[in-house]
Amino acid sequence: MSILKVARLGHPVIRKPSKPLTAQEIESPAIQKLIDDMIETMREYEGVGLAAPQIHSSKQIAVIEVEGNPRYPNMPRVHLAVLINPKIVSRSKDLVEDWEGCLSIPDLRGSVPRNDALVCEALDRFGKALKVEAHGFFARVIQHEWDHLQGDVYLDRMRSLKTLSHLAEFGRFLARDDS
């Protein structure tokens, strides 16, 4: 496995809608290796999710995992999920504001409204159909990664850029004490 270079905001791949995969592509050794590399890259950089455009591949693949992550210490655990060609098929009406960061927009946090719950249909890494019902932080991460696959980033979803903060200042002034 390899740790891949992360594309940052400004690289055109971050703004390009990515392509769905065929069943044949999903089972190919190249895509299987890409998925392994995405998981390793997410863990290396302490992300809770990573979408393929973030590693310069314009394909509809996202990986998500929350396991004692030091960047998001108080968030509930989410076991490793590989979502291919994901579709958000329903969303709850209620929007919840919370902080997000992004490996492609380093050292910043902003407050982003997201639907509190959703249902996502996708394929897993073996091409098998998955239906994921998520709420709270997991639902937030799915929306963040799904946005990447459309060429959107969390900044596009913020109601106002006034909460945008450097990570160090966020830690000093804005981090919630929910311990």
Residues contributing to the site for Zn ion (CB under 5 A): 102
**Shortest Cβ distance from residue 87 to Zn ion (Å)?**
19
Q: Write the Ramachandran bin of 88: left for phi over 0, alpha for psi from -120 to 50, otherwise beta.
A: beta
Contact (CB, 8 A) for 118 and 90: yes
27, 67, 145, 169: which one is catalytic? Answer: 145
In sequence order, what are the beta bridge partners of 83? 62
**Shortest Cβ distance from residue 116 to Zn ion (Å)?**
19
- Return d(Cα 44, Cα 60) in angstroms, integer: 21
Residues 6+ apart with CB under 8 A from 96: 113, 114, 115, 116, 140
Report CA 16 to chain centroid distance, whole Å: 16
**Shortest Cβ distance from residue 103 to Zn ion (Å)?**
6
Comparing CB distances to Zn ion, the nearer of 127 and 136 is 136
Comparing CB distances to Zn ion, the nearer of 50 and 122 is 50
Write out the two tokens for 7.
């594309």
Comparing CB distances to Zn ion, the nearer of 102 and 122 is 102
Comparing CB distances to Zn ion, the nearer of 17 and 27 is 17
Give yes or no: 145 in active site. Answer: yes
Q: Which helix (H) or strand (E) holds 169?
A: helix 167-169
**Shortest Cβ distance from residue 35 to Zn ion (Å)?**
17
Of all residues in this chain, which one has the CB nearest to Zn ion in the complex? 102
- Active site (catalytic) residues: 145
